[in-house]
Amino acid sequence: MRSETLSSKKGSLPRSLALWLGIAIALLVVGRSLRSTPAAPTAESPVHFVDITRSAGINFTHYTGAFGKRYLPETMGAGCAFIDYDNDGRPDILLIDGADFPGHQTRRTTLKLYHNNGDGTFTDVTAKAGLDVPMYGMGVAVGDYDNDGWDDIYVTGLGEARLFHNEHGHFRDVTKTAGVNNAGFGASAAWVDYDRDGKLDLFVRPRRPAQILLHARGLPGRYLPPVPQSRQRALRGCHREVGHLRSDVEIAGCRGDRLR
């Protein structure tokens, strides 16, 4: 019995090796066939983008003003906008830049406005257009707030905001007279005629819980001042019934996601 058991074990060993060897050969054959099979051609997208920034004449690098303190504005990009500022039918490019922090001035940075030449290139017309203004900009909103047919610019920023009135291709700072400065940390803004009176109102989103809605007065280019933050309510879901906001806009009438 002992000799039969040993012989059976000796006989089973070659069969086991043959089994594993067969599996290895099969995997090798399949792997080679997969490598030799050409990949199926993929359909090319009809749209293909090429970076032409430099060749188009755009020479801009956003500056954060970072100097080691790791302030929040350093981590955020800035806004940009297409605007046909001279009404020639071609969209021009406006780029918002940062700046140095107080006490750490190393360079002068400004907004950048590039005029569309109509041939795929752009020309820097910042100074010529009156936008050679240093500020720590964040967001930008474009709109013809006084209905004169020329798009105006509102720029939010750190410690200030600016409204530039478009005077036939040249911009004038009218922030103070219009009453739309925001001395806090303005992140973004938008023009909206929320009460459908034909005049654009200004919605500003600071980096704080409360928003600011400035209602256009009857006089062109004049805005009611924002209500103190103690009286403001967060505007959540106001887009649902925006036409029913109170006309005096005490920033209004929103409670949760319903309007007063």
Give which of 138, 3, 24 is closest to 77, Cα–Cα: 138
**pTM strictly above 0.85:** no
pLDDT of the residue at 74: 73
pLDDT of the residue at 126: 97
Task: Tell me the CA distances in angstroms from 71 to 74, 75, 94, 134, one per residue in order.
Answer: 6, 7, 25, 19
Task: Tell me the CA distances in angstroms from 211 to 48, 69, 182, 214, 253, one per residue in order.
Answer: 40, 27, 11, 10, 12
pLDDT of the residue at 214: 57
pLDDT of the residue at 250: 40
Give which of 76, 74, 188, 73 is closest to 139, Cα–Cα: 188
Give which of 238, 78, 244, 60 is closest to 158, Cα–Cα: 78
pLDDT of the residue at 91: 98
How do the pLDDT tens digits run along the chain, 260 residues long? 444 444 444 445 566 666 676 777 777 666 666 565 555 666 777 899 999 999 999 999 888 877 777 777 777 778 899 999 999 999 999 999 988 888 888 889 899 999 999 999 999 999 999 999 999 888 999 999 999 999 999 999 888 899 999 999 999 999 999 988 888 788 889 999 988 989 999 888 776 545 555 566 544 455 444 544 443 343 333 333 333 323 333 444 433 333 33
The long-range contacts involving 8-15, CB below 8 angstroms and separated by at least 24 positions, are: none
